[in-house]
């Protein structure tokens, strides 16, 4: 029988995605492992491989279609000894509303219950108990919209519990009320010329998650000034030693290591608030903010505290490249116990970052710059960086956050501990 190819769940949180590009067409022969399509999730664009062998009979969802639900049939493959005559490609109208295609391709678990949902009527009369009729009249409820649970579908009092009266709609245009309620208020442009670009899935997810984070997580911010001179000197020495291997350390690579070791030293900050429990992690996995064309994404350096700085540099370079190309796999960006966001390369002196849930802290790093600084009891000029930790105050007390920031500062200012 024909094999239905369904929209895959490419991450544990994925509910829908955009079918960005088809790499096969109707009539093509495919085998297990062939790339069928590119699918844009809420984090990245990922390749979707074939599992079965056969001939593509139809492409049921055209490329470019947004909001395709996980489990929806997107194509059909005919196996051996089956009719593999290609079906007609879906029309633009079908692309705009793929639900009918999915419904026709996937067997429903039960018949559509439209006739059974209507109340029992005798002629034009709805069958209901006298009490139900009186309560409906008092509440302004249309009994023809209620399904009865009594004998032979009779509407009884219990069927009306929790049912609210319909909102009054303007008499002249009753059909317009639901549309007005579901449509967000238009944003005025005040006559200013502009262009509009539809949000991609990544930007939608960023907007949703950051809004939730600021609304649900009580942030506390702690800032320290960190002297970088010793770290910069060590970085130069290490890069000279690593030159033959082709590895080049960035300041950010060393800061990743410093944050991970600080979390290991202060485990009360390497935690996550999970409803009625507090999770304390056994290792420090650092999510590193990377600006990609589709939006911000945070690839993860797993167990960064136990890795050498050269290993971190090599891994971070590869992950950043994949992030910018939209090729990260779910395990490369999902998880992490804390995050690092560095805007120093843009000359930003100091900023407060939004926590990336379910993590409980994020470190925001500014630019290293020459500042007046007290060195050995005397005023001097030093290279100083401001770092701000954002902590989830439900999980981390201010004193514990301050201890972690102090540990981070000590590691950066005495960086030999990062390579020990």
Report the catalytic residues: 393
d(CA 78, CA 362): 50
The number of beta carbons lying within 10 Å of the beta carbon of residue 402 is: 18
Taking a C-beta distance cutoff of 8 angstroms, is the pair 127, 148 a contact?
yes
Contacts for 140-148: CB closer than 8 Å, 24+ residues apart: 140/165, 140/166, 141/165, 141/166, 142/166, 143/119, 144/118, 144/119, 146/119, 147/116, 147/117, 147/118, 147/119, 148/119, 148/120
> For 89, which DSSP code?
P
Taking a C-beta distance cutoff of 8 angstroms, is the pair 289, 269 a contact?
no
Letter string b/e over residues 280-310, b meaning 16 or more CB atoms within 10 A of that residue's CB: ebeebbbbbbbebebbbbbbbbbebbebebb
Helix (H, G, I), strand (E, B) or coil at 295: strand
Q: Chain centroid to CA 10: how far?
A: 12
d(CA 259, CA 265): 10
Strand partners, 361: 391
Taking a C-beta distance cutoff of 8 angstroms, is the pair 353, 341 a contact?
yes
- Per DSSP (E only), the strands in 80-197 are 121-122, 125-126
d(CA 30, CA 36): 8
């Amino acid at each position: 029988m024909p094999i239905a190819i369904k929209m895959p769940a490419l991450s544990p949180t994925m509910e829908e995605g955009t079918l960005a590009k088809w790499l096969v067409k109707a009539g093509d022969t495919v085998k297990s492992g062939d790339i069928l399509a590119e699918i844009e999730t809420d984090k990245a664009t990922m390749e979707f491989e074939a599992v079965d062998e056969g001939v593509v009979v139809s492409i049921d969802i055209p490329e470019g279609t947004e909001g395709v639900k996980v489990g929806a049939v997107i194509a059909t493959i005919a196996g051996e000894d089956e009719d593999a005559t290609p079906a007609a490609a879906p029309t633009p109208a079908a692309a705009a509303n793929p639900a009918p295609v999915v419904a026709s391709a996937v067997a429903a678990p039960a018949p559509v219950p439209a006739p059974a949902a209507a109340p029992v009527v005798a002629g034009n009369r709805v069958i209901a108990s006298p009490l139900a009729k009186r309560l409906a009249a008092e509440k302004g409820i249309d009994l023809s919209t209620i399904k009865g649970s009594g004998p032979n579908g009779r509407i009884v009092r219990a069927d009306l519990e929790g049912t609210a009266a319909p909102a009054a709609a303007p008499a002249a245009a009753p059909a317009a009320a639901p549309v007005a309620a579901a449509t967000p208020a238009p944003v005025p442009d005040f006559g200013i010329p502009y262009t509009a670009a539809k949000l991609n899935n990544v930007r939608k997810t960023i907007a949703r998650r950051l809004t939730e984070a600021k609304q649900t997580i009580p942030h506390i911010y702690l800032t320290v000034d960190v002297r970088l001179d010793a770290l910069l000197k060590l970085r130069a020495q290490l890069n000279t030693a690593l030159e033959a291997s082709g590895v080049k350390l960035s300041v950010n690579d060393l800061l990743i290591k410093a944050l991970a070791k600080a979390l290991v030293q202060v485990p009360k900050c390497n935690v996550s608030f999970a409803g009625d429990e507090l999770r304390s992690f056994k290792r420090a996995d650092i999510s590193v903010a990377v600006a990609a064309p589709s939006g911000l994404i945070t690839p993860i350096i797993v167990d960064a505290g136990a890795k050498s700085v050269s290993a971190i540099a090599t891994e971070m370079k590869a992950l950043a490249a994949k992030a910018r190309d939209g090729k990260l796999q779910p395990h490369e960006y999902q998880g992490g116990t804390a995050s690092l966001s560095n805007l120093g390369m843009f000359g930003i002196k100091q900023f407060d970052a939004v926590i990336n849930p379910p993590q409980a802290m994020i470190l925001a790093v500014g630019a290293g710059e020459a500042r007046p600084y007290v060195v050995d009891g005397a005023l001097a000029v030093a290279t100083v960086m401001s770092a701000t930790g954002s902590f989830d105050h439900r999980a981390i007390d201010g004193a514990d956050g301050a201890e972690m920031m102090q540990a981070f500062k000590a590691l950066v200012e005495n960086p030999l501990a990062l390579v020990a």
